[in-house]
Amino acid sequence: MVQLTMAKAITAGLARAMDRNDKVLAIGQDIGRLGGVFRITDGLQERFGAARVMDSPLAEAGIVGTAIGMAQRGYLPVCEIQFDGFVFPAFDQIINQASRLRFRTQGQVTAPIVIRLPYGGNVGSIEHHGESPEAYFTPTPGLRIVTPSTPADAYELIQQAIASPDPVIVLEPKRLYHSLKGEVDLDAPASGELDRARVVRLGTEVTLIGYGPMVSTLLNAAKVLADEGHSAEVVDLRSIAPVDWATVEASARKTGRVIVAHEAPRTSGVGAELAARIQERCFFALEAPVLRVTGLDMPYPPSRVETDYVPSVDRVLQAVDRALAY
């Protein structure tokens, strides 16, 4: 076991996958000599060569389109999109091409590509550098979307994503890259299920559901609730497409109250789908409506006021108070 930041855990996961399979390669702007804007690929070009860690032009559609072609020739490409707000030029390649190849060819052709996408805010960034665009992709059949909340999970998820026969978007919480450290077992096999949620704190009165950067916020809220005499269960989704409904529903039925939190805007967000399905499937077990704590329905704000936009512990606690009042 070693102590790693989330950034270094992803680097280690990439390196392990590349060591184990010489068909794994990385492609993206400035990922080679520079090591990526967040230094995730730092040292990988020196270790594996420029033919496997390739600097690309600033052309996201070209990066993903090239990766799709490589995948059809037997490679396992890992694309890096520098920032969340830059993914949209590749939207057509992801939605209309990569996600549909398996269905279109009745399984004869697949697109086992990984798209690494730093996302989320509260890092003092400028416009287009603090987005949470997951809801644009989650309704897309054939596309998997995962996001880690700890260094250990980041190490595991990146390897599982590379091993998947489907295209996978790995949403990497950029504010946790260098601020969150944790123990990582570098010898542990990445053998878990890619789309399996985890109950990271047991509780009995209310379920707090989140993913990526929100999980630490929910855990902090659960600690405050414990000090106040309340028991909160925290579920880390890990996969937001598909969702592990069995774990989500079991926790909802157990506690009878559910709060869903994410940084993305409220309307049509992941939380809306979670709330709808939980209330459809667990209606008679619920003691209160499923409540959402989210970002606001507005463009991501300037860095001076972004802390008012990102869901906080206080906002989560206010939602819990509402749920317990029913």
For residue 240, count other CB atoms closer than 10 A to its CB: 25
Do residues 21 and 155 both lie within one domain?
A: yes
Tell me which residue has tokens 């606001």.
Answer: 296
Domain boundary among 122, 157, 184: 184
Question: What per-residue confidence (pLDDT) applies to 126?
Answer: 82
Average pLDDT over residues 211-215: 97
Do residues 85 and 107 both lie within one domain?
A: yes
Coil, strand or helix at 206:
strand
The average confidence (pLDDT) of the chain is 95
In this structure, is residue 134 part of a structural domain? yes
The pLDDT tens digits of the residues spanning 83-130 come to: 999 999 999 999 999 999 999 999 899 999 999 999 998 888 888 888
Residue range of the domain that includes 73? 2-184
Please say whether the dihedral angle defined by the alpha carbons of residues 33, 7, 314 and 310, taken in this order, is positive or negative. positive
Do residues 212 and 130 both lie within one domain?
A: no
Would you place residue 188 in the very low, low, confident or very high pLDDT band (cuts 50, 70, 90)? Answer: confident
In this prediction, what percent of the chain has a pLDDT beyond 70?
100
In this structure, is residue 260 part of a structural domain? yes
Average pLDDT over residues 209-216: 97
* Count of CA atoms in the C-beta half-sphere (13 A) of 48: 27
CA–CA dist 49, 32 (Å, integer):
9
Average pLDDT over residues 235-243: 97
pLDDT: is 188 or 207 the higher one?
A: 207
Res 28 pLDDT > 80: yes
Do residues 152 and 217 both lie within one domain?
A: no
pTM of the model: 0.95
Do residues 51 and 156 both lie within one domain?
A: yes
In this structure, is residue 279 part of a structural domain? yes
Tell me which residue has tokens 């990146």.
Answer: 158
Average pLDDT over residues 74-82: 96
In this structure, is residue 105 part of a structural domain? yes
Question: What per-residue confidence (pLDDT) applies to 233?
Answer: 98
Residue 178 catalytic? no
Judge contact between 193 and 237, C-beta under 8 A.
Answer: no
Count of domains for the chain: 2
The pLDDT tens digits of the residues spanning 126-160 come to: 888 889 999 999 999 999 999 999 999 999 999 99
Do residues 133 and 268 both lie within one domain?
A: no
Q: What residues contact residue 205 under an 8 Å CB cut-off, 6+ apart? A: 230, 231, 232, 255, 257, 324
DSSP 88-156: GGGHHIIIIIGGGHHHHTTTSS----EEEEEE---S---TTSS---GGGTTT-TT-EEE--SSHHHHHH
DSSP 146-198: E--SSHHHHHHHHHHHHH-SS-EEEEEEGGGTTT-EEEE-TTS---S-TT--E
Question: What per-residue confidence (pLDDT) applies to 189?
Answer: 80
Question: What per-residue confidence (pLDDT) applies to 48?
Answer: 97
Res 174 pLDDT > 80: yes
Q: Which of 129, 178, 230, 262 is catalytic?
A: 129
Do residues 32 and 130 both lie within one domain?
A: yes
Tokens of 19: 């060591």
Tokens of 20: 């184990």
In order of 211, 248, 250, 292, the CA distances from 272 in angstroms are 14, 14, 19, 8
In this structure, is residue 190 part of a structural domain? no
Res 6 pLDDT > 90: yes
Do residues 25 and 117 both lie within one domain?
A: yes
Do residues 53 and 156 both lie within one domain?
A: yes
In this structure, is residue 315 part of a structural domain? yes
Would you place residue 12 in the very low, low, confident or very high pLDDT band (cuts 50, 70, 90)? Answer: very high
Question: What per-residue confidence (pLDDT) applies to 122?
Answer: 84
In this structure, is residue 191 part of a structural domain? no
The pLDDT tens digits of the residues spanning 33-68 come to: 999 999 999 999 999 999 999 999 999 999 999 999
Report the helix count and the strand count for the chain, using DSSP H and E: 11, 14
Which helix (DSSP H) or strand (DSSP E) does residue 263 occupy? strand 258-265
CATH number at residue 136: 3.40.50.970
CA–CA dist 251, 210 (Å, integer):
13
Res 257 pLDDT > 80: yes
Do residues 180 and 261 both lie within one domain?
A: no
In this structure, is residue 156 part of a structural domain? yes
Do residues 13 and 143 both lie within one domain?
A: yes
CATH number at residue 276: 3.40.50.920
Do residues 19 and 120 both lie within one domain?
A: yes
